[in-house]
């Protein structure tokens, strides 16, 4: 059986990464694409992505037991990707993880053959999406946009633009995954 491929998906706030991943989650099964859930110390009802909600104590217990393939902290929360992805990769699956730009080098060190994917959108689109969420102040939005502007893309990154129709961005990602495996 062939070794699978890990797709490390990242993107700035407001690029619509969670929406694109959600689209692929609902359309990628027939293409043998598995989207890993993230484990987050955020309540399940907090909105946003479909994730596994853990208390900080449970998260740290899982870290201690070695149950995560990757972990990082962002926005005051703990994030993790479960070791189950290794089982899926060993069985030839195409595995997508919802990663962080800040944790990319950690992921690359652990999985040198991973394919980085950047979901992005125009600055205007991201600003509009962030404002419509109602979670950030105008200063927070400006800081997030500045962070996006300063980001240096890794070599070999697959870029998906998500300014228009969600299905177009999702299909572009799914097509790229099925053609590179």
Task: Tell me the average pLDDT across 70-90.
Answer: 94
- pLDDT tens track for 85-119: 999 999 999 999 999 998 999 999 999 999 999 99
What is the C-alpha radius of gyration for the chain, rounded to an integer number of angstroms?
Answer: 16
Q: Which sequence spans correspond to the domains of the chain?
A: 5-36+89-180
CB 129 within 8 A of CB 14: yes
- Between 125 and 31, name the one with better pLDDT: 125
User: Which tokens hold the place of 112?
Assistant: 């040198």
Q: What is the mean pLDDT of the chain?
A: 90
Q: Which CATH class is domain 5-36+89-180?
A: alpha beta
């Amino acid at each position: 059986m062939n070794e699978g491929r890990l797709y490390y998906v990242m993107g700035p706030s407001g690029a619509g990464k969670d929406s694109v991943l959600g689209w692929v989650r609902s359309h990628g099964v027939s293409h043998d694409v598995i989207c890993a859930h993230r484990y987050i110390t955020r309540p399940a009802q907090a909105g946003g992505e479909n994730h596994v909600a853990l208390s900080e104590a449970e998260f740290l217990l899982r870290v201690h037991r070695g149950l995560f393939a990757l972990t990082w902290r962002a926005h005051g929360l703990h994030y993790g990707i479960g070791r189950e992805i290794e089982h899926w990769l060993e069985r030839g699956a195409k595995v997508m993880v919802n990663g962080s730009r800040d944790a990319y080098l950690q992921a690359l060190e652990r999985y040198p053959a991973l394919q980085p994917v950047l979901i992005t959108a125009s600055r205007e689109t991201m600003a509009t999406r962030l404002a419509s969420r109602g979670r950030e102040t105008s200063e927070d939005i400006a800081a997030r946009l500045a962070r996006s502007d300063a980001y240096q893309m890794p070599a070999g990154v697959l870029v998906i633009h998500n300014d228009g129709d969600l299905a177009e961005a999702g299909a572009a990602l799914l097509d790229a995954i099925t053609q590179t495996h």
